[in-house]
Structure 1
């Protein structure tokens, strides 16, 4: 199911299919489908921009915690705006998905990407945000650790 969800979210992100079309196809009673089609339909999320973000979304929905806003721009003053992967307004918590591709050279030299990332995090923290970072291994293999970190930061 997670593979189908990841592919569906990718198609949505790349605008290869519209959300409504995908949703209707997954729920079409005339097609052979299992209960998994409905689960995928319920989890489709056009705001997930990577397989890691899809896995995080899958976990968040499964835990039944407050749903975050996604891909939200935050004004940090002085013309600095930063976009959060997952954001909870009430407790002022941001969850950032740190995939390896970010440091692969596609987005520039890894050391520069890391420097910009740290500056961005400092700006957000000065505005009162708690920034949590997570990698694939933790979300896949230690999801309860991530849930505990989110709960400790005030996400319920």
Structure 2
């Protein structure tokens, strides 16, 4: 009985191999056994890895299938730059004439004329182009979150985003992106902060200062998500993840108390305030601003 090859020794960790390469060292039955035992993981049809593939592994596997480097776009490119607010799971690439067919987990796009650069060892659409491409396909709140995140990442500037908006004029969703670009701010540190700020602006509230630092007694300094310093009103977006443990909760409560002792009104915001009760949230803030 033939000895079963150890694929984990045949290929370095995280490396990839095509079916043809594997069959050069083992029989089809042995290959099927390795797959059934979980020693080989299917990345795409005809390409396998020795561990659960990352996005970069999946792109590298496409390189093998296409026989040249795949170009990442949309959410996949945004993830490479670090400003993917949508937790993209599918891999998005250009149709460059190779005639790759979309399949489960793979989206192939026509993007004629899109500028390309290299990031983290991969080819991808440029940061500003990527941000605008993603934003014009999303709802207003999520589009603003993408623009904010792109600016926060420092991969692109407002001027570069505005130039791409002009280059993409006439495309679906570009009018909305042009309007939102005037509101985009790289100081936002999360997508939900961006959504909350849009609620405030849409309801006619004064634009808040973002990531505002409040000086406490002695050497204490606290930073808040939103602030209206003249009214001594601040607002904070609270996520479930932020209060992941007892220590975090106690530290946050002490911070709130310290800011309130200085005469500030602290307004907590949760996701339901932003997405289900936006008018009520705006009225609550307006009340404290006018009190």
TM range (shorter): 0.7 to 0.9
> Deviation of residue 4 (structure 1)?
2.1
Query: Does 2:204 correspond to 1:64?
Result: yes
Residues 120/93 of structure 1: CA separation in 2 closer, same or farther (3 Å cut)? same
CA distance, structure 1, for counterparts of residue 286 and residue 183 of structure 2: 22
Question: Shift in Å at residue 62 of structure 1?
Answer: 0.7
Matched, 1:47 2:182: no
Contact 2:234 2:267 in 1 (8 A): yes
Partners of 1:19 and 1:102 in 2: how far apart?
30
Q: 2:170 aligns with which of 9, 28, 32?
A: 32
CA contact (8 A) 1:98 1:135 kept: yes
CA drift of 1:20 comes to 2.2
Q: Distance in 1 between matches of 2:288 and 2:250?
A: 24
Check conservation: 1:93, 1:155, Cα contact below 8 A: no
Note if contact 2:205-2:282 (Cα within 8 Å) is conserved in structure 1: no
Asked which structure has the greater RCO (Cα within 8 Å, sep 6+), the reply is 1
Instruction: Quickly say closer, same or farther: Cα 1:30–1:122, change in 2 above 3 A.
Output: closer
RMSD: 1.8
Of 207, 217, 222, which aligns to 1:82? 222
Question: Which sections of structure 1, spanning at least 5 residues, go unmatched?
Answer: 105-109
CA deviation string 1:98-131 (max 9, x = no partner): 1223134xxxxx1111101111111101100000
CA contact under 8 A between 1:66 and 1:155: conserved in structure 2?
no
Query: Deviation at 1:64?
Result: 1.7
Question: SS at the partner of 1:120?
Answer: helix
Runs of 4+ in 1 over 6 A off after TM superposition: none
Aligned residues: 150
Query: How far 1:155 sits from its partner (Å)?
Result: 4.9
Deviating more after overlay: 91-100 vs 11-20? 11-20
**2:155 corresponds to:** 16
Shift of the 31–114 alpha-carbon distance from structure 1 to 2, 3 Å rule, reads same
Q: Report the Cα offset of residue 16 of structure 1.
A: 2.1
Separation of aligned partners in 1, 2:249 and 2:160: 38
Greater fraction helix = 1
| Shift in CA distance, 23/155, structure 1 to aligned 2, threshold 3 Å | farther
- In the alignment, the residues of structure 2 paired with residue 30 and residue 16 of structure 1 have an alpha-carbon distance, to the nearest angstrom, of 19
Deviation at 1:71, TM superposition (A): 0.5
Indicate the residue corresponding to 2:39 in structure 1. Answer: none
Closer, same or farther: CA 15–155 of 1 in aligned 2, 3 Å: farther
Normalising to structure 2: TM-score of the pair? 0.49
Question: Does structure 1 residue 121 correspond to structure 2 residue 259?
Answer: no
- Structure 2, unaligned runs of 5 or more: 1-139
Instruction: Report the Cα offset of residue 136 of structure 1.
Output: 0.7
